[in-house]
């Protein structure tokens, strides 16, 4: 019940302040350029890193990037840049 209230409050605050939900609710922002580059903001940690799959942890779920020749090119505490041939992105609730 508390999570619903937090999401609802974040949604209302987002509308009032006219800012995107990811800035208010600490949700990931994913930007994909073609199928060769992907940026994920607001991730928490890297759970796995292989040339065919990169698994990231966010606050509420896992982000699974699948493809070929995947590389983490740049990384900060708040953002990660992945390059390679991106074939799919999946979200897993844990």
pLDDT tens readout for residues 9-57:
556 555 655 555 555 567 899 999 999 999 999 999 999 999 999 999 9
For residues 6, 93, 78, 55, the Cα torsion angle rounded to the nearest 10 degrees is 180
User: Are residues 40 and 56 in contact, defined by beta-carbon separation less than 8 angstroms?
Assistant: yes
pTM assigned to the model = 0.75
Please compute Rg for the chain using Cα positions. Answer: 14
Give the list of residues 6+ apart from residue 11 with CB closer than 8 angstroms, or none: 21, 25
């Amino acid at each position: 019940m508390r999570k619903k209230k937090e999401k609802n409050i974040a949604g209302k605050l987002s509308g009032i302040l006219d800012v995107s939900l990811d800035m208010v609710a600490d949700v990931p922002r994913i930007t994909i350029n073609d199928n060769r580059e992907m940026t994920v903001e607001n991730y928490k940690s890297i759970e796995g890193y292989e040339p065919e799959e990169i698994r990231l942890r966010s606050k509420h779920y896992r982000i699974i990037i699948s493809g070929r020749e995947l590389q983490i090119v740049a990384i900060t505490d708040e953002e990660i840049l992945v390059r390679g041939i991106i074939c799919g992105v999946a979200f897993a609730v844990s």
